[in-house]
Amino acid sequence: MRIGVTSRNPLVWLLEAIGVLPEPLLVGFWGMEASRALIAGTELGIFDALAEKPRTAPDLAADLGYDAIGTEALLNALNGFGYLRRADGQYTLSRRARRWMTSDARFSMVRPMGLYRVLWDEFGDLEDRIRHGGERDFHHPDRDAEFWRRYETGLGAAAALTAPSVAKAIPFAGTPRRVLDVGGGHGAFSAALCRRHEGLRATVLDFEPATVIGRELIAEQGMSDRVEFVAGDLLEAEWGEGFDGVLLFNLLHVFSPKQCEAILAKAHDALAPGGTVAVYDAAHKETGGNINAVGGGSELLFYAINNTRAYPEATMRDWVASAGFADLRSKHPLGMPEVLITGRRA
C-alpha cells in the first residue's frame, strides 16, 4: 500500500511518474485535510443526514443547526475528496460514502472515525515525544467513559471486517469449547469464533471500562449467552486454566518485549494440553527492504500512544517458541498488514 496523489488528469500521472510533482507538499496538506474532513463529517452527522435526502448547503445547515458558511466549506471538501456529489447546488452521497460512511451501512466506518478523533490529538506533541522520549499509557483504565466508548466501538467496527476470516484461519487440535480472549474488549473476534464453532464459549479479559462497552457490543450481536467478560489488568489478573485457545489479538504492540514474553508465558499456563495460542498483530521486516505504508504508520502510531513498536514477525515467533509452544505457523491475511502466528501447547 502506498499513499499518494490520484487525479483524472494524465498530465498529473506523468509528472508524478518522472518525480517532479511536489508529492510531499500535496500529501502532507491534503492528506491532513481529507482525514479531518472525514472525521468531522461523521462527528457532525453529515453523511447520515444526506443519506436521508439530498440537500443544499444552506438547507443542511439549517436542518442541523450549524453555521452555514462552515457547513458549505465541509461539504465542498468532502465533494473534492470524492465522498459527496454536487449538482445544481445539492449534495448527495457518493457510492463509497454510502458503502462506508453512514451509521446503517453494513460495514460502517462511523465508529472508527470516532476513534480517529481521539488519535488525532495524540499526535499533537509528536516532535517533542521523539526528541525526548518518555512513557505514555494510552490505555490507562482511569481514562473517561467517552474515551473507552470511542476506543472499543471504533476497534470493534474495524475488527468486524477481518474477524470471520481470522477465525477461520486459527487451527485447533479438536473441537474448541473454551477460549480466552486477552485484551479483546470489544469482543468481535470472540464472537466470530463462537459463530464458527458450535458450542464454543469465550471469556474476554480486559479493563473494567472496556468490558462495559464490550458487553453492549456483544448484546447488539445477540451473543451475550456465549461471550462473557471478566474485568482485570491482564498483567496482574489470574487468567484461569484449561482453555482450548488463548487469543492475543492486537495486544503485543502495547507492551515492552519483556512484558510480551511474560504474557506468552501466562498464555501457555492458561491452555489445556494441545491448546492453541493465536497472536494477531501488525508486523514488519526486521532489517532490510522497505516497509509499506501501513507497517510504517503502525510503527509511528504505537510509539506515539504507548512508546512501543510494531514488532517484527520473526521476533514475535521467537517469543512464542520461547514460551514453550510447538507447531508454529504464520499466516498473512489477504490484503491486510497483520500476521497471524499460532502455536500449540505440547
In terms of residue numbers, what domain contains 324? Answer: 145-345
CA distances from 252 to 112, 157, 220, 278, 287 (A): 21, 20, 28, 11, 20
**Taking 90 as the threshold, does the pLDDT of residue 225 lie above it?**
yes
Q: Is the pTM here over 0.75, yes or no? A: yes
**Taking 50 as the threshold, does the pLDDT of residue 327 lie above it?**
yes
Buried b (16+ CB within 10 A) or exposed e, 269-308: ebbbeebbbbbbbbbbeeeeeeeeebbebbbebbbbbbeb
**Taking 50 as the threshold, does the pLDDT of residue 2 lie above it?**
no
Final residue in a domain of this structure, among 55, 83, 105: 105
Indicate the residue type of 319: W
- 202-211, 270-279, 300-309: the lowest-pLDDT one: 300-309
pLDDT one-digit tens code per residue, 195-223: 999 999 999 999 999 999 999 999 999 99
**Quick one: pLDDT at residue 141?**
82
Please report which confidence band the pLDDT of residue 287 belongs to, taking 50, 70 and 90 as the band edges.
low
Query: Do the Cβ atoms of 190 and 247 come closer than 8 Å?
Result: yes
Q: Does residue 184 share a domain with residue 40? A: no
Residue 82 lies in a domain: yes
pLDDT one-digit tens code per residue, 90-125: 999 999 999 999 999 988 999 999 999 999 988 888
**Taking 70 as the threshold, does the pLDDT of residue 321 lie above it?**
yes
Residue 191 lies in a domain: yes
Neighbours of 18 (CB within 10 A): 8
Residue 78 lies in a domain: yes
Query: Do the Cβ atoms of 172 and 150 come closer than 8 Å?
Result: no
Final residue in a domain of this structure, among 105, 132, 164: 105
**Taking 60 as the threshold, does the pLDDT of residue 50 lie above it?**
yes
d(CA 125, CA 29): 18
Residue 283 lies in a domain: yes
Q: Does residue 185 share a domain with residue 326? A: yes
Q: Does residue 200 share a domain with residue 282? A: yes
**Taking 90 as the threshold, does the pLDDT of residue 240 lie above it?**
yes
**Taking 80 as the threshold, does the pLDDT of residue 14 lie above it?**
no
**Quick one: pLDDT at residue 165?**
92
Residue 60 lies in a domain: yes
Residue 119 lies in a domain: no
Average pLDDT score over the chain? 89
Q: Give me the CATH number covering residue 291.
A: 3.40.50.150
Q: Does residue 236 share a domain with residue 98? A: no
Q: Does residue 171 share a domain with residue 49? A: no
203, 235, 244, 236: which is closest to 344 by C-alpha? 244
Split into its structural domains, the chain has a count of 2
**Quick one: pLDDT at residue 19?**
60
**Quick one: pLDDT at residue 1?**
43
d(CA 272, CA 31): 48
**Quick one: pLDDT at residue 335?**
59
Residue 127 lies in a domain: no
Q: Give me the CATH number covering residue 70.
A: 1.10.10.10
Q: Nine-digit cell at 74?
A: 465541509
pLDDT one-digit tens code per residue, 133-188: 878 888 888 889 999 999 999 999 999 988 999 999 999 988 999 999 999 999 99
